[in-house]
Structure 1
Amino acid sequence: MVVTKAKKPKIDRTDWRSLPHSQWNVRTVHAMFAELNREHFGVETYLPMRNWGFEQGVIKRALAEHGADVLHEAFTLIFREYKPTPDYPILTAGFAISYRLNTVIPRILADRQRKEKAEKTVVNGGMAAEEIASWL
């Protein structure tokens, strides 16, 4: 009797809108940038910063350092803020990571900490007993 293993369905790494962040990779980020450049700036052909090897390395390091969920939020924010020029009509992943990420990530992390702190306050029933006593 021959036992065959069922093949796992192939994951579409370019479907960045529905792919869980835990499964994102370099291909996912490139697909995101190509699609967002098409949507925001009407540019059909995505070209990387410097070359494909450079950009793939930059993306891989950023995914390992920050995680896909933070990068997804950061890239969305960077696209909203980017103003294309005749010399730079598209936003590349290499540029976003190399020059914009260091200004956006701290804002995102601070915002997440504020939200987390607010949720803890609400979950814990508002103010602590000591805070209420000091008000009275």
Structure 2
Amino acid sequence: MASVNNRKQPKSADWRNLPIDSWNCTTFTAMLTELTADHFGVDYAPGGGGSKSQRWAREKGMLKQAQQRYGNAILRRFIEMCVEEYRPNSDYPFPTFAFMYSYMDRNFARAQAEIAAAERQAQAEDNARQAASSGDMLDYL
């Protein structure tokens, strides 16, 4: 009898627990919704013209395009930077993803640099760990 794996991956909307490699548009939308409520105290809704369903469809398309172009880690950091940087006003109490993507796109370069630096640091630590374990093996021999 085959063993059954009872561990399940978190739902795609559970952005805090889902591995970044498994994120999709639903995950990014859940993140945006929660960050907007936490930072600005309002419910998230996409901006722009058209019906509500058209605005959500347009935003999900933009998220998917950015996800394919930049990858999940960079897109996540980009959104975090934009939320941290945005200063609300009475007309625009929070940034929509369309606004971030259109007018705060300079943060993509910063997000790319931060993620690249973190990856280089992780690689350097991994190389040092491997060198140390190789050195231990040579000492043993």
Where on the TM-score scale, by shorter chain, does this alignment land: which range? 0.7 to 0.9
Structure 2: how far apart are the matches of 1:7 and 1:53? Answer: 34
**Is there any run of 5+ residues in structure 2 with no aligned partner, and where?**
49-54, 129-141
Structure 2: how far apart are the matches of 1:19 and 1:6? Answer: 18
Between the two proteins, what is the percent identity of the paired residues?
Answer: 32
Q: What is the letter of the counterpart of residue 47 of structure 2? A: M
Q: What is the letter of the counterpart of residue 24 of structure 2? A: N
Please give the TM-score of this superposition, normalised by the length of structure 1.
0.72
- Per-residue CA deviations over 1:62-104 (Å, capped at 9, x if unaligned) read 111111111111111111100011110122122112221x201
The SS at the match of 2:78 is helix
- Per-residue CA deviations over 1:12-70 (Å, capped at 9, x if unaligned) read 11111111111111111111111111100111x22112211110100010111111111
Give the number of the structure with larger relative contact order, counting CA–CA contacts within 8 Å between residues 6 or more apart: 1
Shift of the alpha carbon at 1:112?
4.1
Please give the TM-score of this superposition, normalised by the length of structure 2.
0.70
Compared CA separation, residues 99 and 23, structure 1 to 2 (3 A) = same
Q: What is the letter of the counterpart of residue 72 of structure 2? A: A
Counterpart residue number, 1:108:
111
Q: What is the number of equivalent residue pairs in this alignment?
A: 118
